[in-house]
Amino acid sequence: MRVRLSRVLLVLAAATALVARAAAQAPPAPPPTAAAPAPTPVPPKPTPTAESLKEGKALFAKFVQALGGAEKARKVHDVWTRGLVTAKTPEGDMSMDVQTSMVFPDKISQQVDAPFGRMAMVATPSGAFIVGPNAVQDLPPGMKEELLRQVRRIPLLLAQKIDDPKLVTAAAGREQIGDVPTRVLDVSYEGASVRWYLDPSSYRIVRSAHTSVGPQGEAQIVSDYSDYKIVDGYPVAFHLEVATNGQKDQTLALEECKINPGVEPKLFEKPVMPTPAPAAAPTPGAAK
């Protein structure tokens, strides 16, 4: 159950238009019984050309402007969301309440209330751990780095980096998604890469796609965004459909989103679990 939960936590890393999709950390779930077509896996990214880089920079600038500009984006330092995720598991669909707190540029905490109890996952530059009802366990370095890459994939954070030379944006053509003739944009920043499919009428993200690296190897994560609402002046997608390796396996229905609510630093501190009391020694001569 721990591996499956960590997958859900990662996939939920701030699931809004401000937050990029997260990674799978377990083998893909079995194909759904429904015959509905799933989003295709992430295609290989071509080597950017001078022309695609120039076009990508202009496209990214339009995306940032649609958010209200870089200065407005830089005013955001933390985001909190709460929603209901339904994930397909070998035992059937599982619904969980999930709360996610992210502090830019490098902290994330996610709490899950599932049928089997409450658990939380935290990652910061100094460490990463998962907290269960009775124990705290450190996460391996690879999972910590993947969680921190999710923070670096957040669209709002990337908008803040528009003038950073470490940000690389390249246009990657066009693709029809439903009735939207999207513009495709590849974005990379400090080791984190993501492909966005932008609606050219609003420059909102219709779909995002990225490759995640987890304990079971690479996984292709594709997420479709819908039901946009304005929260504190920013567009937020309140519904997401997530596919792993081409199979739709998770749905998120966002219920709340708060921009700059403030986050208690203690949320990112590793708790110290009480040491269990030793068992009482048997009384000599007691009846067996």
Return the domain boundaries, the chain: 2-31+42-267
> With contact defined as beta carbons under 8 Å apart, do 173 and 184 qualify?
yes
Residue 49 has pLDDT above 50, yes or no: yes
Quote the pLDDT of residue 31.
35
Q: What are phi and psi of 173, to 5 degrees?
A: 90, -155
140-168 average pLDDT score:
95
Question: What was the pLDDT predicted at 85?
Answer: 94
Checking if the pLDDT of 3 tops 60, the result is no
Q: What is the CA radius of gyration of the chain?
A: 21
- Mean pLDDT of the region 39-48: 64
Helix (H, G, I), strand (E, B) or coil at 81: strand
Average pLDDT for residues 144-159, to the nearest whole number? 94
Instruction: Say yes or no to pLDDT of 33 above 50.
Output: no
Residues in the chain: 288
Confidence of residue 157 (pLDDT cuts 50, 70, 90): very high
Give dist(CA 240, CA 11) in Å, integer.
11
Orientation of helix 2-11 relative to helix 141-152, angle to 10°: 20
At 63, list the tokens. 């995306």
Q: What is the pLDDT of residue 43?
A: 57
Q: Per mean pLDDT, which range of 16-30, 54-68, 187-201, 265-279 is the poorest?
A: 16-30
The overall average pLDDT reported for the chain is: 84
- Annotation: CATH topology of 2-31+42-267: outer membrane lipoprotein receptor (LolB), chain A (2.50.20)
Residues facing 235 on adjacent strands = 230
Give pLDDT tens digits for 52-109: 999 999 999 999 999 999 999 999 999 999 999 999 888 888 999 999 999 999 999 9
Q: What's the confidence (pLDDT) of residue 42?
A: 55
Yes or no: say if 156 and 140 are a contact pair by the CB < 8 Å rule. no
**Can you give the pLDDT at residue 134?**
82
As a whole-number percent, the residues of the chain with pLDDT over 90 amount to 68
Q: How confident is the model at residue 44 (pLDDT cuts 50, 70, 90)?
A: low
pLDDT of the residue at 282: 65
Q: What is the pTM of this model?
A: 0.81
Name the pLDDT band for 114 (thresholds 50, 70, 90): confident
Q: Where does residue 69 fall: left (phi above 0), alpha (psi -120 to 50 degrees), or beta otherwise?
A: left
Residue 159: count of CB within 10 angstroms of its CB: 25
DSSP run (H or E) holding 32: none
Whole-number pLDDT of residue 144: 93
